[in-house]
């Protein structure tokens, strides 16, 4: 005979208090699972958005990050002479020699200091990275102690408002502009003139840590890389800017995902036991009803399927509730330490349809595991003895 699904749905409604416990347990597990994955996705997306496939970043050979690299002015000139480098209408190469320092700034939320990345750039940087736009004020003037601040940095760090004097590195700077970098890692940075930043930190003016170039096209990268790595005047490594920043996210995203899966696993085990308890209780309380169904002609397979479906229905409700609870954090901006650059990075949670789908699948898996054993027990109940129970 057909599966008595309507009976199971009515039973869940009639015993809603017991079902609610399982629903809330599954909802909490799904909410934590999706939230942790959306945090990792947001962090990764922020760094991945920082790079353009048409840009290349050049560092000293063997340097894993900019902080451990040195590229001098003569090398920057050689890099800029490459045929694959795009040029302005006047023929100047689109290249930005850059330096990076870490400076402490207080978080607005806690008042405690966070490591903020201050990037010294060349005047042509807005042409090298055309996705970066000045949204308030103006760009800094070369040779002056002026800063432009990323939109996220202005929101989460104290004392970085437009026109505000800022002290770091033994120097007083003035914030003259706010820029928007499309939600990338640059939005958490402060930019200034590279030579002035070198002077402030008593570094040689003609020494940079990296050079970022705008290529004539994305396809020109391979030829550009081959030209630089085969040049005897250079000892450098060349990466697409997008690939470089994607690598910078690996440590933190892996850590968040591992922690997320561990927390979800522990909570998931608890949710499964909650579902088991709910379904075993349902079977124990409804033994006569189950026997009646068997006597009416519903086979063991129908009973197993119906009770698994009941458990999946509870899990589905929990999964939907968990996804609804986590939806409001989509786009919420927070920050954490990027252990590969030792700087604080602001990023937004990204709750994607794929993550919601994974959360629903996780909920249904918990429902299946929690409902299968009680369903098998229900199917094995002796019909005659169960019908004689008072």
**Model pLDDT, residue 1:** 46
**Model pLDDT, residue 56:** 95
**Model pLDDT, residue 340:** 61
**Model pLDDT, residue 145:** 95
**Model pLDDT, residue 274:** 73
Residues of the chain with pLDDT under 50: 1, 390
In whole angstroms, give the CA distance from residue 122 to residue 387.
86
**Model pLDDT, residue 301:** 75
**pTM of the entire structure?**
0.74
Torsion of CA 154, 157, 159, 163, to 10 degrees: -10
Reported as a single tens digit per residue, the pLDDT across 106-157 is 988 888 888 889 999 999 999 999 999 999 999 999 999 999 999 988 988 8
In whole angstroms, give the CA distance from residue 98 to residue 209.
6
**Model pLDDT, residue 365:** 87
**Model pLDDT, residue 336:** 73
Reported as a single tens digit per residue, the pLDDT across 353-389 is 999 999 999 988 888 888 777 777 767 766 665 555 5
Reported as a single tens digit per residue, the pLDDT across 12-30 is 777 777 778 888 888 888 9
**Model pLDDT, residue 309:** 81
141-152 burial by CB neighbour count: b if 16+ within 10 A, else e? Answer: eeeebbbbbbbb
Could you tell me if 234 and 228 are in contact, meaning their C-beta atoms sit under 8 angstroms apart?
A: yes
Domain ranges for the chain: 5-48+250-388, 62-234
**Model pLDDT, residue 390:** 44
In whole angstroms, give the CA distance from residue 77 to residue 219.
22
């Amino acid at each position: 005979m057909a599966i008595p699904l309507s009976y199971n749905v009515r039973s869940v409604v009639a015993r809603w208090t017991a079902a609610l416990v399982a629903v809330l347990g599954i909802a909490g597990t799904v909410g934590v699972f999706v939230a942790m994955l959306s945090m990792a996705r947001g962090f990764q997306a922020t760094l991945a958005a920082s790079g353009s496939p048409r840009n290349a970043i050049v560092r000293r050979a063997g340097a894993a990050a900019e902080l451990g690299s040195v590229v001098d002015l003569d090398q920057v000139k050689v890099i800029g002479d490459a045929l694959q480098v795009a040029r302005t209408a006047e023929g100047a190469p689109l290249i930005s020699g850059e330096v990076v320092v870490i400076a402490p700034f207080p978080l607005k939320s806690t008042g405690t200091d966070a490591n903020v990345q201050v990037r010294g750039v060349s005047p042509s940087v807005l042409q090298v990275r055309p996705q970066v736009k000045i949204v308030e004020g103006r760009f800094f003037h070369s040779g002056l102690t002026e800063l432009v601040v990323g939109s996220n940095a202005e929101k989460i760090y104290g004392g970085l408002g437009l026109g505000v004097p800022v002290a770091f590195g033994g120097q007083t700077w003035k914030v003259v502009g706010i820029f928007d970098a499309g939600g990338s890692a640059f939005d958490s940075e402060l930019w200034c003139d590279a030579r002035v930043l070198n002077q402030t930190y008593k570094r040689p003016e003609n020494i940079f840590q990296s050079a970022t170039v705008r290529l004539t096209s994305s396809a020109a990268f391979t030829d550009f890389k081959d030209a630089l790595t085969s040049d005897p005047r250079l000892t450098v490594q060349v990466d697409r800017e997008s690939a470089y920043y994607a690598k910078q996210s690996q440590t933190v995203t892996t850590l968040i995902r591992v922690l997320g899966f561990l927390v979800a696993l522990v909570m998931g085990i608890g949710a499964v036991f909650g579902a088991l308890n709910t379904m075993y209780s349902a079977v124990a309380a409804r033994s006569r009803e189950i026997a009646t169904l068997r006597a009416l002609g519903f086979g063991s397979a129908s009973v197993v399927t119906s009770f698994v479906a009941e458990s999946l229905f509870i899990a589905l409700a929990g999964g939907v509730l968990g996804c609804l609870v986590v939806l409001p954090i989509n786009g919420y901006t927070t920050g954490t330490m990027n252990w590969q650059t030792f700087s604080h990075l602001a990023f937004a949670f990204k709750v994607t349809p794929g993550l919601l789908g994974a959360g629903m699948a996780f909920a249904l898996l918990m429902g299946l595991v929690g409902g299968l054993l009680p369903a098998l027990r229900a199917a094995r109940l002796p019909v005659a003895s169960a019908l004689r129970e008072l």
